[in-house]
């Protein structure tokens, strides 16, 4: 999705998305909702086909308009790393502050925090699970779905019957592993291969139409992750 093009179109039509920075944030969501309300559309903050046609009525629509704004945010943050040892990456702590979650340092596993930030910052009306820092708590998020691009994937860690887990977003898959875009993978936001037999469930948001993105076949390269803590 070309967020910058959407922000520019909103600004041109008199709806202020804030700084034209290509980042899908709360001011952009608010501007989309205001635009939708003014045009008699469902004010859900999602730039779907109807909103796109209205927004770009006098211009060429950007290619690949998609409602997976949380994936745009996740990809934008690729490479963000925690600070090993003393000290913390202030950006990671800010995600927690924005969600009103107490988080003292980035040595605490932050895969759930990363997913919560990406969902909470872009789908402002989407309910988050209770204690989103607990990876397995994401099994209560949204509604169940097949593993498909953009879905939230929840994995067991240590033992299937234990309490530890890992959570991230589906980027694709090969024969034996899912390619997961997540936080706290080698201490950073990155893509890791996680074996399919570790999957506990796949979930999708409920405030947007059901995902219809499909599976993404990727090459099997490199080893698989065994412990994402």
φ/ψ of 13, rounded to 5, equals -90, 10
> Would you mind telling me the total number of residues written for the chain in this entry?
229
CA distances from 17 to 23, 62, 139, 204 (A): 10, 17, 33, 26
Going residue by residue through the chain (229 aa), what tens digit of pLDDT does each one get?
Answer: 578 888 999 998 999 998 898 888 888 989 999 999 999 998 888 887 788 889 887 665 554 445 588 998 999 999 999 987 777 899 999 999 999 987 777 788 899 999 999 999 988 889 999 999 999 999 999 999 999 999 999 999 999 999 999 999 999 999 999 999 999 999 999 999 999 999 999 999 998 888 888 889 999 888 999 888 7
CA distances from 30 to 33, 46, 120, 142, 199 (A): 5, 10, 14, 22, 35
What are the extents of the domains in the chain? 3-55, 69-204
Q: Which CATH architecture has domain 69-204?
A: Alpha-Beta Complex (3.90)
Q: What is the pTM of this model?
A: 0.81
């Amino acid at each position: 999705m070309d967020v910058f093009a959407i922000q520019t179109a909103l600004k041109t039509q008199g709806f202020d998305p804030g700084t034209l920075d290509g980042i899908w944030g709360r001011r952009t969501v608010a501007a989309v909702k205001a635009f939708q309300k003014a045009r008699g559309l469902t004010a859900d903050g999602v730039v779907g086909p109807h909103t796109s046609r209205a927004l770009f009525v006098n211009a060429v629509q950007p290619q690949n308009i998609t409602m997976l704004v949380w994936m745009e945010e996740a990809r934008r943050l690729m490479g963000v790393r925690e600070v090993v040892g003393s000290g913390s990456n202030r950006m990671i702590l800010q995600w927690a502050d924005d969600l009103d979650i107490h988080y003292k340092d980035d040595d605490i596993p932050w895969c759930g925090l990363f997913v919560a930030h990406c969902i909470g910052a872009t789908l402002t009306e989407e309910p988050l699970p209770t204690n989103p820092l607990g990876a397995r708590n994401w099994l209560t998020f949204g509604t169940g779905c097949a593993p498909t691009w953009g879905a939230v994937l929840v994995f067991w860690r240590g033992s299937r019957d234990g309490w530890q887990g890992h959570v991230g977003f589906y980027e694709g898959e090969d024969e034996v592993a899912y390619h997961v875009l997540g936080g706290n993978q080698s201490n950073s936001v990155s893509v890791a291969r996680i074996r399919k037999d570790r999957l506990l469930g796949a979930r999708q948001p409920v405030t947007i139409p059901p995902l219809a993105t499909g599976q993404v076949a990727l090459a099997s390269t490199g080893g698989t992750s065994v412990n994402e803590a």
